[in-house]
Structure 1
């Protein structure tokens, strides 16, 4: 493998905004991509992605994960996205990077696919789900709304029955409640990578910023001024995991333990 062919080599940053109708934050995408690459390869004996492949909730334009597929020999990803426009863009990205034989994206509801025979053949899901917390979806980009606390989608994913989840968890979207729900469902934290980010156009929207301030004041997360932390974590129900890093993850997200 060419050492330059790594998931962090994404297109040049273009800011935190919408480009041609798509959300774009190069720093977060690079962190997510590199984390997926490292955690999958680090835990290849724990997570059976080499034999089963990996499912993806919400592929978007596929830039981040297409780079991971290109960088990791043998990795196969089946993505699902509810936006036909996103699927079209994803297919262009995948074709351009030459990984169409190992990365496919279909238009549809991920959870409907998860209940299908194909979905039941895969035990690992990767996702950078919508996580903007707000009272309702009337925000700058409704597709990024994650419910009142910002964790609606990840909680739904936890209940979907997959054994291994590789997901992004932001510090201001009630990660303690998310990890508590995960623990009750038999998940433990194998490992994670955390990164500090500045508020962008969407988290910084006055309506959202005020809601985040209220949530964090009530103990449902953390944000420091105009910054927050996002961790990409591998949650697993494998009995072979020897150490649960949930406490370390909460500390990394600046939450009391």
Structure 2
């Protein structure tokens, strides 16, 4: 469906990041909050492959995606592990949780008039990502794009007390949404100002675990910045 985000490569990558950076680290019945669940497939696929026994509360504004997600959740009897609310996380009573996870909207554009307005990430693509890092969760897993002002996100995370404790990077080809002329031209302008980094038709997408815990002195922020700006 055209009104539901569809990019198998990106969804599979998000699912792998969830498994390797979040679910496998959960030792008890943790609560996880997800911003922008879409059709739910990344989380559903992760839950089917892991023994996670906590609860994931998803928030999804797109009613079509929310309905599609719930059909699949019911099909696999995952209703006790994955509950998706048809509302905006920022405007809702936020559940207490050990983790916040998201593949947030990160398309940069001059305005929301793009193929799928819910994918609009602000003028530089980092607006929603940075807002999520302002909510105060101790552990935050986000997908960060190299063409969406990644250095601003790393700096914003640091200013909010986060360290980058782990990350996974995937080279991706510009897809249907990012290749829209209005979006692609805007990304080209951002590159001139060193706010977007890509090479030819490829950019980097990173699954990044930001943590506030003082237990670990590991901080991979500089390494992440070097990778994301290397294209």
**Alignment TM-score, normalising by the size of structure 1:** 0.85
SS of aligned partner of 2:45 = helix
CA distance in 2, matches of 1:252, 1:97: 38
Could you tell me how far 1:70 is from its partner in structure 2?
Answer: 1.9
2:8 maps to which residue? 26
The residue number in structure 2 matching 1:174 is 149
| Number of equivalenced pairs | 230
Q: How does 1:5-16 map to 2 (within 5 A)?
A: none
Structure 1 residue 112: Cα displacement: 2.6
Q: Return the offset for 1:78.
A: 0.7
Say whether the 8 Å CA contact 2:147–2:203 is kept in structure 1: yes
Query: For each residue in 1:189-235, what CA deviation from the matched residue of structure 2 results, as whole angstroms up to 9, or x when unmatched?
Result: 01011000111121111111111111012111201111101001100
Query: In the alignment, does 2:128 pair up with 1:150?
Result: no
Q: Structure 2 unaligned runs (5+)?
A: none
Q: What is residue 81 of structure 2 aligned with on the other side?
A: 102
Mapped pair 1:123 → 2:98? yes
Secondary structure of the structure 1 residue equivalent to 2:199: coil
Q: Deviations over 1:18-51 (max 9, x none)?
A: x352121101110110011001145447xxxx33
2:36 equivalent to 1:58: yes
Q: Distance in 2 between matches of 1:161 and 1:54?
A: 14
Q: How big is each residue's C-alpha offset from its partner over 1:115-158, in whole Å with a ceiling of 9 and x where there is no partner?
A: x3xx3521311100111000111111111111100011111111
Instruction: Give the match for residue 178 of structure 2.
Output: 203
Name which of structure 1's ranges 91-100 and 172-181 shifts more when overlaid on structure 2: 91-100
For 1:250, which of 202, 225, 228 is the aligned residue?
A: 225
| Matched position secondary structure for 2:155 | helix
Structure 1 runs not aligned, ≥5 long:
1-18
Is the alpha carbon distance of 1:142 and 1:41 closer, same or farther for their aligned partners in structure 2, counting shifts above 3 Å? closer
1:188 aligns with 2:166: no
C-alpha distance in 2 between matches for 1:170 and 1:89:
26
Counterparts of 1:97 and 1:20, CA distance in 2: 24
Report the TM-score when normalising by structure 2.
0.94
Please point out which of 168, 187, 194 is paired with 1:212: 187
1:122–1:65 distance in 2 versus 1, CA, 3 Å? same
Residues 44 and 102 (structure 1 numbering): CA distance in 2 closer, same or farther, change over 3 Å?
closer
Alignment partner, residue 241 of structure 1: 216
Deviations 1:226-257 (A, max 9, x none): 1101001100101112210111212221349x
**Match status 1:134 vs 2:99:** no
- Larger mean CA deviation between 36-45 and 104-113 belongs to 36-45
Pairs within 5 Å for 1:81-96 = 81-96=60-75
- Out of 69, 89, 103, the residue aligned to residue 47 of structure 2 is 69
Report the CA distance shift for 1:20/1:120 in structure 2 as closer, same or farther (over 3 A): closer
